């Protein structure tokens, strides 16, 4: 049974909010659990949309995101 510290029978349970890979000079977002979206933060930091890939979207839907497709 879990307790307030996130353990289950003396095992720690954890997860991650963001998973990003650098692939062929592009930032591929594999998971984004942030409220606003990490892509917006990357854009504000000066990274062009053409260098950001939504890896969590199927390839056939990526052209509709406004970001890089691969």
**CA angle at residue 63 from 62 to 69, to 5 degrees?**
60
pLDDT at residue 15 in the model: 82
Q: With cut-offs at 50, 70 and 90, classify the pLDDT of residue 2.
A: low
Mean pLDDT of the residues in the chain: 87
Q: What are phi and psi of 44, to 5 degrees?
A: -60, -25
* 16-64 CATH choice from 3.30.310.110, 3.40.50.10680, 3.40.980.10, 3.40.640.10: 3.30.310.110
Are the CB atoms for 41 and 49 separated by under 8 Å? no
pTM greater than 0.85 (yes/no): no
Domain ranges of the chain: 16-64
For the chain, percent of residues with pLDDT exceeding 90: 76
Mean pLDDT value of segment 9-25: 85
């Amino acid at each position: 049974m879990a307790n307030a510290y996130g353990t289950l029978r003396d095992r720690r349970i954890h997860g991650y909010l963001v998973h990003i890979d650098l692939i062929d000079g592009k930032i591929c977002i594999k998971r984004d659990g942030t409220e606003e979206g990490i892509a917006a933060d990357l854009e504000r930091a000066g990274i062009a949309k053409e260098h950001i890939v939504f890896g969590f979207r199927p390839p056939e839907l990526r052209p509709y995101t406004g970001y890089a497709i691969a």
